[in-house]
Amino acid sequence: MSSAVIQETSPARALLPKLGSLLAVAPLSVWTAWHLWENLSAWQGATVWESRVTEPGNPVASALTSLIVFGPLFVHILWGLRRLKMTRANAYPFFGNLKYVLQRLSALGLLAFIAAHVYLARIAPALRNPNGHEDFGDLAAHMRHHPPTLIVYILGVLGTAYHLANGVYTASFVHGLAASPKASRRMQVISVVVLAALLGFGWGAAAGLSTAGACVP
């Protein structure tokens, strides 16, 4: 009976890592890259930025987007917390263990960053006004005149970019895309490209907001 139970539960347990990594890569990684890219519109001014980033669109589309993003995000957080408890650094070379530790540290930092970002960008404006959204002038002024805001955003983007890029690399093993040394090296290059692109988007947006904040007292 015990062997039958093991045979029955093993496929489900084997599926969890694939499901967790799949939800992280799509839709979370795709949406994150798009969100950072959209924030680059800060260089085009308040009207363009707010129309692309904060202003609500079609209610059905907005609700669907929230479900697609926050549903997988919640599942991924639970899956990630479970992995934090179950896994430890091992006998891999120093660089491999360093990436492992940074991945876990970035995950913990992202929990705090995402919570603060969601509160300031969505919850707090809604509490002030049911139709309210994050104000470009306020955010730009904080980026320019309140150094802790800029520092937190820069570190938040760094943690997001690293966690996502390294996650793409590790997910490639889970899904059999890095089964050979050549494939592994290829996925390593792809992860570096992803890291550079996300840092460019996010830090470019921060620079745009800070530049715009110079015009806000």
pLDDT in tens, 86-119: 666 555 666 777 888 888 889 889 999 999 988 8
In Å, how far are 28, 49, 86, 121, 131 from 59, measured between CA atoms? 21, 19, 40, 17, 12
Asked if 22 and 177 count as a contact pair (C-beta separation under 8 A), the reply is: no
pTM of the model: 0.83
The C-alpha atoms of residue 189 and residue 166 are separated, in whole angstroms, by: 11
The C-alpha atoms of residue 82 and residue 70 are separated, in whole angstroms, by: 18
Asked if 38 and 52 count as a contact pair (C-beta separation under 8 A), the reply is: yes
HSE on the CB side for 124, CA within 13 Å? 10
Average pLDDT value for residue range 10-36: 74
Q: Which residue has the tokens 């793409």?
A: 168
**Cα Rg of the chain, angstroms:** 20
The C-alpha atoms of residue 173 and residue 186 are separated, in whole angstroms, by: 12
Sequence-separated (6 or more) residues with CB below 8 Å from residue 190: 168, 169
Pick 88 or 127 by higher pLDDT. Answer: 127
Lowest mean pLDDT, pick from 10-24, 172-186, 200-214: 10-24
Angle in degrees, CA 213, 205, 105, rounded to 5: 115
Pick 88 or 10 by higher pLDDT. Answer: 88
DSSP state, 87? -
The C-alpha atoms of residue 156 and residue 143 are separated, in whole angstroms, by: 13
pLDDT of residue 56: 65
**What pLDDT band is residue 6 in, cutting at 50, 70 and 90?**
very low
